[in-house]
Structure 1
Amino acid sequence: MSEQQPLSASWQQSIDLYIAFARNEKHYSTATIDAYLRHLETSAHYFSQFVANWQAIEVENVKGLLAKLKSRELSARTINLHLSCLRSFYKFLIRKGLAKANPVELVKGPKFTKPLPKNLDVDQVNQLLEIVPEDSLAIRDKAMMELMYSSGLRLSELSSLNLTDKSAIFNGLLTVLGKGGKERVIPVGRKAISAVKEWLKVRAEFANPDELALFTSKQKRRLSIRQIRARMKKWGIEQGLSANVHPHKLRHSFASHILESSGDLRAVQELLGHSNLSTTQVYTHLDFQHLAKVYDNTHPRAKKK
């Protein structure tokens, strides 16, 4: 599956159509689009050895591709992502009248155990956020972490916040643009509001007058995703947490703690901006771990001595 000659038009044109659809209509991220393009071109190079175009591919061809991917000792997760990309691609071709059937639909990828998202417990979150800021950077970082934990923001959503969002934050209801260009309205807690207000008092030190970004760096421009990750990791160490702190862990913690208290999976789905409930259901495993401990410790017929 090494680099081969450029694909012929019968293969490349369909890929180009799908990538344009993913970019302009589905609003997939650059990373997702790059991965889809890589998977589709890899598949096309393999299939073109046996058939003339995408329409001619049959289930046996897909099984051959699966065997080839396994022979490269790729992880089960990577192989399943590859097949998932192909399934979505064929659904698109069928809608456009460019294929009659989806040859990937009946091909199952290798089984793999999806790791549970790791989260901080409530005490650990409190330990992280009980920062006594000694400088303006600490004030900024506390505001970012309070806001992420308060509202379950994705890292990209936090990074893309603008100064014009401050009114919504202060009103306790923030509208963000999530994956696929989908808007959702999320609540903002009082501690996050207070932390953002403190940051805005000193923000001018880190921003030019015409800068739109809410969170800015010493270079007086929007704080990058990489910089946010580095700052949160730093604070995890400084606050004495044994667990590695990263932005997604705060989002997971937000979801787990809401579910633990409410048991309302649909509400958590809406707050996280998940399109499918199945994506959110992974948190039920985390919640069950907590419930099992409560059961063991409190049920009259189950209480451990």
Structure 2
Amino acid sequence: MSVASESRSPLAGDVDAYLHYIAHVRRLSPRTLNAYRRDLAGFLDWLAAQGITGWTALDSQHVRQWAALQRRRGQSARSIQRRLSAVRNLCRHLIRERRLSHNPAEQVTAPKAGKRLPATLDADQVGVLLDMPADTVLARRDRAVMELFYGAGLRLAELAGLDLNQIDFAEGMVRVTGKGSKTRIVPMGRKAADALRDWLRDRSAMAEEGEQAVFVSQRGTRLSHRNIQARIRHWARVLGLPVPAYPHLLRHSFASHLLESSGDLRAVQELLGHADISTTQIYTHLDFQHLARTYDKAHPRARRRKPPQAVDDQE
């Protein structure tokens, strides 16, 4: 995977080596790799336009000018943050490779992006979606897909990549490979397990010989990300759901409903496979003010002491 540039930059070889590193050593997802490739190709084009042909000529002012240009071109704060992160990580790699002595992007900050809370379905809306009539093979497959999204909180890539040997009905568990090739084991819930059993009774008649994917298309091969998204949108329309439905909407709803019921933020973090608890807070509509209120109510050192009672001088 190489960076595309109208005029091949003399720095492109180092970027190609970095892309190879994050693809084969860090094993980032194809989607993340494509984002890195696009962002770094744009950065290289800008460097070439500035006449910068060596990494040692790059300084923090150049990076700030490039980030400011993104803003003037109407890029969102979130997009600029992502692009700066790509450049920052590239520079860290170049330092390890002794191509740079310092990181010129380290102190460059992007405009702050407002927190965008994820949409969720309420329990009744989830019920409408999951209580769909499963009277055909495809309907039983789609119900099992949606039950797993909501019952186990899976990501789209995790569900699409699920193989038969990753399902443990005896324990009611699913072993999935998440971001950064990290494996985690999550409970799938009784209804998800029942829906999955119903689908697996039909699957053998659809799947190609030797296919290991849990969910297959009518062609008998692994169900693609796009097909999964399309089928969930289809059922939302058919069932008259008032909002568009998509895989992550069910994952958001799983997290939000679980947190509302349990209040256990750490457990939800582990089930979702989040490395950072702040990500879980965004997914579940939890903010630091809520944590502060919980602390104020629960922690002995935070509780307000009762004012001392007045002493009667006559006693």
TM class, shorter-chain normalised? Answer: 0.7 to 0.9
Q: How does 1:80-229 map to 2 (within 5 A)?
A: 80-166=81-167, 168-229=168-229
Q: Could you tell which deviates more after superposition, 192-201 or 233-242?
A: 233-242
Name structure 2 gaps, 5 residues minimum. Answer: 292-315
- Cα 1:19–1:117 shift into 2, 3 Å: same
Query: 1:300 — aligned with what?
Result: none
Are the aligned partners of 1:19 and 1:33 in contact in 2 as well (CA < 8 Å)? yes
**Code of the aligned partner of 1:41:** A
Shift of 1:50: 4.2
1:71 corresponds to 2:72? yes
The structure-2 alpha-carbon separation of the partners of 1:290 and 1:239, relative to structure 1 and needing over 3 Å to count, comes to: farther
> Normalised by the size of structure 2, how large is the TM-score?
0.85
Residues 216, 223 of structure 1: 8 Å contact kept:
yes
How far did residue 202 of structure 1 move?
A: 1.3
SS across alignment from 1:114: coil
| Residues in 2 aligned to 1:159 and 1:283: alpha-carbon distance in whole angstroms | 21
* Contact 2:166 2:176 (8 Å CA) reproduced: no
Match in the other structure for 1:280: 280
Quick check: which has more Rg, 1 or 2? 2
1:62 aligns with 2:59: no
CA contact (8 A) 2:9 2:53 kept: no
- Report deviation, 1:54: 2.0
> Is the Cα–Cα contact under 8 Å of residues 120 and 250 in structure 2 kept in the other structure?
yes
Tell me the distance in 2 between the aligned counterparts of 1:287 and 1:169: 36
Matching residue's letter, 2:274: H
Deviation at 1:284, TM superposition (A): 4.8
Letter in 2 for 1:5: S
Whole-angstrom CA distance in 1 between matches of 2:128 and 2:13 = 54
Which residue type is aligned with residue 159 of structure 1?
A: A
Q: Which amino acid in 1 is paired with 2:141?
A: R
Which letter maps to 2:231? Answer: R
Identify the residue that residue 257 of structure 1 maps to in structure 2. Answer: 257
Q: Aligned partners of 2:94 and 2:123: how far apart in 1?
A: 47
Unpaired stretches in structure 1, ≥5 consecutive residues: 292-305
Whether the 8 Å CA contact 1:256–1:287 is kept in 2: the answer is no
Seen in structure 2, the aligned counterparts of structure 1 residues 229 and 235 have a Cα distance that, compared at 3 Å, is same
Tell whether the 8 Å contact from 1:170 to 1:193 is kept in structure 2 after alignment: no
Distance across 2 between alignment mates of 1:52 and 1:133: 61
Q: Is the 8 A contact 1:27 1:179 kept in 2?
A: no
Superposed CA offset, 1:16-35 (max 9, x none):
22111110122111121122
1:38-73 alpha-carbon deviations (Å, 9 max, x no partner) = 211221222242433223211111111112222322
8 Å Cα contact 1:116/1:286 also seen in 2: no
Describe the shift of the 1:106–1:99 C-alpha distance in structure 2 as closer, same or farther (beyond 3 A).
same
Aligned to 2:45: 45
Q: What do residues 98-144 of structure 1 show as CA deviations (whole Å, max 9, x unaligned)?
A: 22211112111123223211111112111211123111111111111
> Which residue of the partner structure matches residue 294 of structure 1?
none
Of 15-24 and 157-166, the range deviating more from structure 2: 157-166
Task: Provide the aligned C-alpha RMSD in A.
Answer: 2.2
Shift of 1:234: 1.1
Give distance in 2, aligned partners of 1:40 and 1:110. Answer: 19
**Any conservation in 2 of the 1:77–1:112 contact (CA below 8 Å)?**
yes
Which residues of 2 match residues 229-244 of structure 1 at below 5 A? 229-244=229-244
Distance 1:208 1:84 in 2: 42
In 2, the alpha carbon distance for the partners of 1:287 and 1:76 equals 20
In the alignment, the residues of structure 2 paired with residue 40 and residue 261 of structure 1 have an alpha-carbon distance, to the nearest angstrom, of 43
Per the alignment, do residues 131 and 226 of structure 1 end up closer, same or farther by CA in structure 2, a change over 3 Å counting?
same
Structure 1 residues 208 and 41: CA distance shift in structure 2, 3 A: closer
Q: What is the distance in 1 between the residues matched to 2:273 and 2:228?
A: 21
Amino acid aligned to 1:28: L
Distance 1:241 1:199 in 2: 24
Structure 1 residues 275-284 or 237-246, which shifts more?
A: 275-284
For residue 76 of structure 1, report the CA deviation from its aligned partner: 2.3
- Aligned-pair CA distance for 1:193: 0.7
- Residue identity matched to 1:66: A
Per the alignment, do residues 169 and 95 of structure 1 end up closer, same or farther by CA in structure 2, a change over 3 Å counting?
farther
Q: Between Structure 1 and Structure 2, how many residues are aligned? A: 287
Amino acid at match of 2:80: I
| Letter of the structure 2 residue corresponding to residue 113 of structure 1 | G
